[in-house]
Amino acid sequence: MPGFELFGPEERKEINDVMDSGILMRYGFDAPRKGIWKAKELEQAISARLDCKYTQLVSSGTAALTTAFAALGIGAGDEVIMPVFTFVASFESILSVGAIPVLVDVDETLTLDPGAVRASITPRTKCIMPVHMCGAMADLDALMTIANEHDLILLEDACQSFGAKYKGKYLGTIGHAGTFSFDFVKTVTCAEGGGIVTNSEDVYTKCDGYSDHGHDHKGVDRGADLHPFIGYNYRISELHAAIGLAQVRKLDRFLAIQKNNHGQLKAILSKIPEVSFREIPDPSGDSCTFLSWFLPTEELTRGLIAELKEQAILAGNFYWFDNLWHYFRKWDHLRQAATLYNLNDGQREALLALKTADYPASDRIMGRCVSTAIALSWTEEQTREKGEKIATAIKKVLAASQVSSR
């Protein structure tokens, strides 16, 4: 992770196919494109790889979420349960369809705490949205049970976890629909792009139209397409899809490298008794894009972050607790309802309530968590060197803490 680390002649070949045709748009221009349909080809490749019936490509992971919400009939007044640890796109997409984000705690899976989800359900709840953060999965058995008990939609935000599995099934294919991001720092990148996967023909058909101004795509003349409903422009380009097509063919290689480097790094940090690791409901399905681990206290973790920075080895080690984009406590623009347009009454009321909301259970987890990004370009020697430097820094901070407590 990310896939751009291993760009090569495969990506250039696919891009050159598009440039040779001269057609960069994914729809229309049938004759001059000379049979080059990279977006269609990538959609078919993703469906085949993930063993699902349908894939719809769009321009970003955010567009994928927005499109999926619309296709699933989620809109004004509907509540969507989401975790406090995720990327801001999760709540942005909920707000974009007029729905209301309901933030709940995470547990040591770094994903939705099923108990917190159950406690947050109201008569207005329509969807549970687990976010499979940092390459690994939520407790989908527990969440699907809750969704089925309350007749709720389960939409998987798998934007960070392409290629990961849960009990033999690919993330994104287990709920009613799943979404992916193929932006520049994802395991499989299109530079910019996203996708929705589903086994529902109805959901797919709606995603297909909604992401292209409501076109029904039933004819051979784009200008004569009917528009059964209003849509928007979330199209991916042929150039972006071409990059993704080359990348998805390398997925097995990417996953194998990540798992090897992840295992080597974890083995080094495991030798330190004070280090514990993220709980993963199905370890065999982890895509291993990150190794997420904990120190005993927030104070020790902050001390380590300072030490890593002092030694100039902080890069690639993420302290999400202070991150501006991935944890609730830094989402001031959400808590202040700072939008450029008028929110509906339900949204505004819910966002204003966030001004005084806190999540101490999540704080106790995220305040102790560090996630180390696993690079595809590392050699075994580089992986070992990185792990040993981190381990040395941890031991130094632990030793200093013991001295100061005497």
Q: Which residues are tagged catalytic?
A: 186
C-alpha pair distances (Å), 334 with each of 77, 184, 284, 343, 355: 17, 25, 36, 12, 9
Asked if 39 and 31 touch (Cβ cutoff 8 Å), the reply is no
Residue with tokens 């070992």: 384
For residues 176 and 8, give the distance between their C-alpha atoms in angstroms, rounded to a whole number. 36
Q: What angle do CA 126, 129, 134 make, to 5 degrees?
A: 175
Residue 107: count other Cβ atoms within 10 Å of its Cβ. Answer: 18
Asked if 88 and 113 touch (Cβ cutoff 8 Å), the reply is no
For residues 20 and 39, give the distance between their C-alpha atoms in angstroms, rounded to a whole number. 16
Bond prior to 2 in cis (omega within 30° of 0) = yes
Asked if 282 and 167 touch (Cβ cutoff 8 Å), the reply is yes
